A and B are shown apart, each in its own frame.
Chain A
Amino acid sequence: MEETKSKNKINSILMQLLPWTIPVALIILWQIAVDVGWITSSFIPSPLSVLANGVSLWKSGELPKNISISLYRALVGFAIGGGLGFILGFLNGVSKVMRALFDTTIQMLRNIPHLALIPVVILVLGIGETAKISLVAIGCLFPMYINTYHGITSVDPHLIEMGKSYGLSKYKLFSKVIFPGALPTILMGVRYALGVMWTTLIVAETVSADSGIGYMSTNAQQFMNMKTIFLCIIIYAILGKLSDFIAKTLENILLDWR
């Protein structure tokens, strides 16, 4: 008994480590390949040198400054666009009049890839903060709108009928029946919008900026500074993973009933 128990424990630990074996092996292989000289380090830098580069850029203050400006743009854009998308989705979800007024227009605009708006946004708003934040906001608006709207309109009508029949006030009906019923779909929208937020920001900062991670990367490109380019890619990956983690945690907390 005891033996199988400890065996099971070891098995489960191994199972948790298993997904990491390939990434770790690849990084080690990459380091070795550069060290041995299979790959020229000026072309693809070794993981350790990218890390060292990161540390020195952090110490000089350049990295923290650029990360925080990028984070700021991402979050403000997400808050504005996501918030607007949520409000529109909510209004159109609960009101037939609003739906008739707005939905067709939004559906039409939705079909324009928001990155195609970059030239327009730059011409109208210049290359300042407003331009980049607007692009992120536009990118985040649609996934939030669609998911909120869908979430609210696809709540089980039987549950709504029950709530009305049990004499719930409009507020109670919304807060206890409609909103929680729509929440799983809304959170899917949040997760999707977070993804859009990063890609939009990367493109916006690459095209036009004088600060931010995207700028760091384009700037490094001009100096053939591969270490910094790789560093930026890794930072994007980490930030992407982080927002995914936040979205997942949010789901686990808010949807604990599932």
Chain B
Amino acid sequence: MQELITVEDVTKKYGNKTALGNANLKIEQGEFVALVGMSGSGKTTLLRMIAGLEQPTSGQIRQAGQVVDSINTNARVMFQDDRLLPWLSVRENLTFGEHSKKDITEADSLLNLVGLDEYADVYPEKLSGGQKQRVALARALMSHPKLLLLDEPLGALDALTRLNMQDLILQICRKRNFTTLLVTHDINEAVRMANRIIVVKNSMIVRQVENPYQGQDSVDAEAKQTGIVNDILHTIYEKD
């Protein structure tokens, strides 16, 4: 296994408030890692630094050996708010208005993958919240990113759509062997999708849990997953 992301002694401060303290983390190629923790614990801060949208106050982040010191265009962020461009059709949101045959073919096949081929020519305004998020997912997958950074991508969805989207994302990431970092509030979601779960608490990475039951839905595996969920919840709510 090859190491893709290295987070080394990274601290991020806003003024004198520490948003993330002395974080260390390695993500290997092909891994699906989830980042969980309470609101304000520093999850988005870490993800934004890996995306190069924010610079660490101290420490270093590397992707495939290269220091991330400006916007990291080798990573694709799927933001919590869909950030679709309202003036472009769904397809153009994927291609950014590019008309080359290659781009359009790729866009159409991704829209097919997320089940939205009929909506290619529609403006985003006409879509439901869940459909918009699927478009945002498809856009993030354009041109095979080396790293997918998903910040609460399913936050705004109802429980059922959420389950479908979890399956969809997991399927795609496995089939295409993406490396993925998923930020989520939902521990169940983390344990269903990730092979490793990172727990952030009070701006610190406090724990990393391996999850051999990733993506499994047998009764037995689900029981094991529930065990892991409870274990993580215990860590998060434990008094210091």
Q: Residues of A with Cβ closer than 8 Å to B?
A: 158-159, 161-168, 172, 175-177, 180-181, 183, 255, 257-258
Chosen A-B contacts, 25 in total, with CB atoms closer than 8 Å, are A159-B83, A162-B77, A162-B83, A163-B96, A164-B71, A165-B51, A165-B52, A165-B72, A165-B73, A165-B75, A166-B73, A166-B139, A167-B73, A176-B85, A176-B88, A176-B96, A177-B85, A180-B85, A180-B87, A181-B87, A183-B87, A257-B123, A257-B125, A258-B86, A258-B125
> Is B53 interfacial (CB 8 A cutoff)?
yes
The chain A residue sitting closest to B74, CB to CB, is A167
- A160 to nearest B CB, angstroms? 10
Contact call A159/B85, Cβ cutoff below 8 A: yes
> CA separation between A198 and B96, bound complex, in Å?
39
**Inter-chain pairs besides A163-B96, A167-B71, A175-B97, 19 sampled, C-beta below 8 Å:** A158-B81, A161-B53, A162-B79, A165-B51, A165-B53, A165-B75, A165-B77, A166-B73, A166-B76, A172-B96, A176-B85, A176-B97, A177-B85, A180-B85, A180-B87, A183-B87, A255-B87, A257-B125, A258-B125
Most buried by B among A167, A168, A177, A183: A167
Instruction: Please give, as numbers and ranges, the residues of chain A lying within 8 Å of B75 by CB-CB distance.
Output: 165
Instruction: Please give, as numbers and ranges, the residues of chain A lying within 8 Å of B86 by CB-CB distance.
Output: 257-258
> CA separation between A21 and B87, bound complex, in Å?
38
Contact call A257/B53, Cβ cutoff below 8 A: no
Instruction: Please give, as numbers and ranges, the residues of chain B lying within 8 Å of A158 by CB-CB distance.
Output: 79, 81, 83
Contact call B96/A168, Cβ cutoff below 8 A: yes
Instruction: Please give, as numbers and ranges, the residues of chain B lying within 8 Å of A183 by CB-CB distance.
Output: 87
The chain B residue sitting closest to A255, CB to CB, is B87
- A35 to nearest B CB, angstroms? 55
How many residues on chain B are close to A (CB under 8 Å)? Answer: 21
The chain B residue sitting closest to A254, CB to CB, is B87
The chain B residue sitting closest to A159, CB to CB, is B83
Which residues B61-75 have CB closer than 8 A to chain A?
71-73, 75
Instruction: Please give, as numbers and ranges, the residues of chain A lying within 8 Å of B123 by CB-CB distance.
Output: 257
A-B contact count (CB 8 A): 48
Most buried by B among A161, A165, A183: A165
- A46 to nearest B CB, angstroms? 50
> CA separation between A235 and B52, bound complex, in Å?
59
> CA separation between A90 and B96, bound complex, in Å?
22
> CA separation between A177 and B83, bound complex, in Å?
11
- B99 to nearest A CB, angstroms? 12
The chain A residue sitting closest to B92, CB to CB, is A176
The chain B residue sitting closest to A167, CB to CB, is B73
> CA separation between A255 and B77, bound complex, in Å?
28
> CA separation between A161 and B79, bound complex, in Å?
10
The chain B residue sitting closest to A177, CB to CB, is B85
> CA separation between A162 and B71, bound complex, in Å?
10
Contact call B71/A165, Cβ cutoff below 8 A: yes
Instruction: Please give, as numbers and ranges, the residues of chain B lying within 8 Å of A165 by CB-CB distance.
Output: 51-53, 71-73, 75-77
Most buried by A among B71, B85, B123, B125: B85
- B138 to nearest A CB, angstroms? 13
7 closest cross-chain pairs (CB), A and B: A167-B73, A180-B87, A162-B83, A257-B87, A257-B123, A176-B97, A164-B71
- A181 to nearest B CB, angstroms? 8
Instruction: Please give, as numbers and ranges, the residues of chain B lying within 8 Å of A166 by CB-CB distance.
Output: 73, 76, 96, 139
Instruction: Please give, as numbers and ranges, the residues of chain A lying within 8 Å of B71 by CB-CB distance.
Output: 164-165, 167
- B166 to nearest A CB, angstroms? 23
Instruction: Please give, as numbers and ranges, the residues of chain B lying within 8 Å of A163 by CB-CB distance.
Output: 96
> CA separation between A2 and B197, bound complex, in Å?
64
> CA separation between A158 and B81, bound complex, in Å?
9
> CA separation between A168 and B98, bound complex, in Å?
11
- A228 to nearest B CB, angstroms? 47
